[in-house]
A and B are shown apart, each in its own frame.
Chain A
Amino acid sequence: MSFLVLDHLRKSFGPTRVVDDFSLSVDKGEFISFLGPSGCGKTTVLRMVAGFEAPSDGRILIDGQDVTRLRPNQRQIGMVFQAYALFPNLTVAGNVGFGLRVAGVPRAARADRVAEMLALIGLPDLGGRYPWQLSGGQQQRVALARALAPSPRVLLLDEPLSALDAKIRLSLRNQIRDIQQQLGITTIFVTHDQEEALSISDRIVVMHRGIADQTGTPSDIYNHPATGFVAGFVGTLNRFSAEVVDPVAGHVRVEGADIALGRLLPPGRVTLAARPESLKVAPEGIPARITGVEFLGSVHRLRARAGGAELVLDRFNAPGEALPRPGDHVRISAAPAAWLVLPE
């Protein structure tokens, strides 16, 4: 049985429905990311799990217990906020030990647990400092230790990396994942950053307009997007309008070029799509004209135009390899399995 169950959750603010029939089952120790653009309802679902918002309909179960009507302080859930929300009147140790103090844990046991948590986040010597004496990354790590100290059943992370600079964000996200795996704690992570979600999640829920468009592993979400929205939101996608020539054999025609996909296709017109790293300059394929070449370190990014479509192709940086130049007429292709077929 799943450890955390969100069962047909709905939430409306006045006449506006922000979450619609959202269901999800999470196993114990799983790391789930809610990914989506601003206003898609991901934070609202998280806040319903935390108890800060009451669902208009549906149930929330943790370890078999229905917590839908429980107050936030009765749910045994740890939460980390985007703006850290450290208590300014308390030291780092005071912050980390706050939940234990509320729970009536004796002073000695509290001190041991605080020391353990500070060691876990790599700040063992900062217990006596106040929040304003710490950097943003340190504050967020303290917030993580504070949320974990009372051993919550579920950990909720509400865009915890958004306020940090790129370098800190990268190191902290790895640290969050390491700690989560070390403790085996069931975690929900809300983000609008696809790279974050793809890199640390066991599964991702892509949300759009209050519903879960697709739930799957990072690889599933990236390589096999279920909807046009998921395909466009996660990663960069090159799209072509294609005519299905042979639905049974899986042949399509794009800009006068025949492409064999080798799978059953719907009759009529479809959208053919491919990731930048899947497209190649090849002897056969869709005719295109190179409009620009950018050097991004590990890759060269080629920009091209094929009919009305603007394309992006990524090629690994291999010193000595010849690259097309702006203005060159080339043909573009991809492996049959790399093509995504989306409804027109």
Chain B
Amino acid sequence: MKRFWSWAAIAFGAIYFLLPLIGTIEFSLRMRRGEYSLDAYASVLADPNFRATFGYSVVMALLTILLGVLIVVPTAYWVRLRLPRLRPVIEFITLLPLVIPAIVVVFGYIRLYNTSSVLPLTGTATGTNILLLCGYAMLALPYMYRAVDTGLSTLDVRALTEAAQSLGAGWVGIIGRLILPNVLGAVMSGAFLSFAIVIGEFTMAALLNRPAFGPYMQLLGANRAYEPAALAVIAFGVTWGCMGLLQLISRLLGVRKTAT
């Protein structure tokens, strides 16, 4: 009986996650009347806006991961090494993006960095891109921080740091050669979530008027029937493909081996 309920729970979960995906795939194939076809996919892939917006979001996602790593890894490391009493405060700060809506943050950005401000970032495309990048890094902060902090909890950060210092290493060397390689697995988990958030993000990109994939999907969904379904399937596949690639690269670079 117990076994039955276990399988029932697995079946329910599978249906909950897979059914909408299967439905979307099935709908995306019905563009040609009376038969299945890949017409919707051909239409999407032929659209130059798809390639431009998806490429833009992928680049932004990678930059967000890079910025997130540059901010989070040294911060989480330093808090564990020197400021352990500040950990609850830092954890609270990193949780704020989950409780403050993105629309509030982006309006704050626009007020602070508009063309009449001291730092008029919204005055140029590059400046707005930087602003959007910072916004994405902030949105991904709770996931990246938690992943890295959990990775650091498996290390004796103080002993490793002191061992490296006694061998002549400076702070940059310690973080770059020891800490980062040892939390690479955790960083990849954070990167996965950051990537997924950025690829589908709509609010910030739309209000900052940047050519990102989220606003493009919304625009297509408002005007077409089958193409949005095909787009969703393509985005799903490409996102998972990119993440698989990241995992592969991290393995080739030598993510830390742990005892079993």
Which chain A residues have a beta carbon within 8 Å of chain B's beta carbons?
50-52, 71-79, 81, 83, 85-89, 98-99, 102-103, 130, 132, 143, 146-147, 150, 156
Contact = CB atoms under 8 A, between A and B. Distances in A.
Contacts of B90: none
B162 A73 contact: no
B182 interface: yes
8 contacts: A72-B162, A73-B169, A74-B168, A85-B156, A99-B167, A102-B169, A143-B163, A146-B163
Interface in B201-260: 254, 256-259
Contacts of A79: 162-163, 166
Contact of A85 (B160, B168, B169, B259): B160
Contact of B166 (A73, A86, A130): A73
A55 B51 CA distance: 62
Contacts of A146: 163, 167
B164 interface: yes
Contacts of A103: 168
A81 B256 contact: no
B123 interface: no
A83 B163 CA distance: 11
A88 B169 contact: no
Given A77-B166, A150-B167, A85 B258 contact: no
A132 B258 contact: yes
Contacts, number: 74
A75 B162 CA distance: 13
Given A83-B156, A88-B256, A89-B256, A147 B178 contact: no
Contact of B162 (A52, A74, A86, A132): A52
Contacts of A77: 166
A72 B162 CA distance: 8
Nearest to A156: B166
Given A50-B162, A85-B156, A88-B256, A98 B167 contact: yes
A86 B259 CA distance: 14
Interface string B154-180: 011001101111111110010001100
Interface residues of B, number: 23
B182 A147 contact: no
Interface in B2-24: none
A73 B170 contact: yes
Contact of A81 (B155, B159, B178): B159
A83 B156 CA distance: 9
A99 B168 contact: yes
B182 to A, nearest CB: 5
Contacts of B169: 73, 98, 102
Given A52-B162, A74-B168, A87-B182, 20 more contacts: A71-B165, A72-B165, A75-B166, A81-B159, A81-B163, A85-B159, A85-B160, A86-B163, A87-B163, A88-B257, A88-B258, A89-B178, A98-B164, A98-B169, A99-B167, A102-B167, A102-B173, A143-B163, A147-B166, A147-B167
Contacts of B173: 102
Contacts of B256: 88-89
A87 B169 CA distance: 13
A204 to B, nearest CB: 24
Contacts of B182: 87-89
B55 interface: no
Contacts of A76: 168
Q: Which of B162, B167, B173 counts the most A-chain CB atoms under 10 A from its CB?
A: B167
Contacts of B160: 85, 87
Contact of A50 (B155, B156, B164, B166): B166
B129 to A, nearest CB: 34
